[in-house]
A and B are shown apart, each in its own frame.
Chain A
């Protein structure tokens, strides 16, 4: 059922969708227009099984000629469905640019932060500074920035950075967090010219490979 798209979830195991239990026609209420095959199975159930479950999951359908014939009745539709999935829909290639152009017209300046040059009163938007600091954190292998907020830290141009991270667990976290802190301070000072005097970092999730491998178990999704 899944698209030929690495980001689409692989087909669910049958139990995840809670298939209707009881294969015999008598166990379930038929849908309007449903019919019982000569073997007693409902057509709707045979089609569901054929579409959703692994072949040979049910010994009856493997050997029953009526079920096989019913399942094969969907072959033409299935072939056309595969063709539909395989083709890029028209307009796909221009769509992302169109969307991002529309989004960028909505982006406001947001909050301004002072750079560490009080004489000239230079400022940078929080979003631009956050983007640069996230990139710095991303540059540390095994770490990726999630949220990044910059606030004024007391008087003058002092700035406090509060970042949440997702990190792999192949190395001790304190070491990785230390690297991220150094990367943030370096980027803030060298790339941006911000006087960052405090960096608060929280690791909020485990970083796992993306796209997830089918059957690799439940992914945390990196949500913070």
Chain B
């Protein structure tokens, strides 16, 4: 008999690359681990980009389903995480374009309301700061907003952000600077 120390959730300790290989062969359980592992950061990203939790959920769900379909072609030239970020960012940009097209350019995306993000155990102060930041983010130029979220919320390196947004590293740094400047000004009253 074979020595077995396997736990029922063995996939949970596998690296992304291995899970992606297995998922590409149709292994849903491996894909489910990837989904659970990356949902939080992708949903935060989409929430910040779209400003609306329902749209953000739709964007991330679409991104994962698209990834599942494209996994057999995924060549591992980028990390799975980076690949997923790219798909999600593109999905969010498409949704924003669709949503904004019939509206005036001056329309500001309604920021995430307090009731959407708030949870009973959160302090009012943190709540207020988060809402103020989300509101300030919604008023940023789209390019600046993406760069800021990917760097400051997601912690991605500049070269990955440049690759994902199809720009150069100096452009990313310039957008980050302008985003920081605008956010600092907008958040001034919360000091």
Contact = CB atoms under 8 A, between A and B. Distances in A.
28 contacts: A1-B152, A3-B154, A5-B40, A7-B41, A7-B81, A9-B156, A31-B174, A33-B178, A43-B177, A48-B176, A51-B152, A76-B191, A80-B133, A81-B133, A83-B133, A84-B48, A89-B56, A91-B54, A91-B56, A95-B57, A96-B39, A102-B61, A104-B28, A106-B68, A136-B2, A139-B6, A222-B18, A223-B17
Interface stretch (B88-96, B97-105, B116-124): B116-124
B29 interface: yes
A131 B31 CA distance: 12
Contacts of A76: 129, 184, 187-188, 190-191
Contacts of A5: 40-41
Contacts of A25: none
Given A96-B39, A139-B4, A84 B10 contact: no
Interface of A: 1-3, 5, 7-9, 11-12, 16-18, 20, 31-34, 43-44, 47-48, 51, 73-77, 79-81, 83-92, 95-96, 98-100, 102-104, 106-107, 110, 127, 130-131, 134-136, 138-141, 144-149, 164, 166, 179, 182-183, 186, 205, 208-210, 212, 219-224
Interface residues of B, number: 81
B126 interface: yes
B-side interface mostly:
helix
Given A75-B191, A210-B14, A221-B76, 5 more contacts: A7-B81, A44-B177, A103-B31, A103-B68, A140-B2
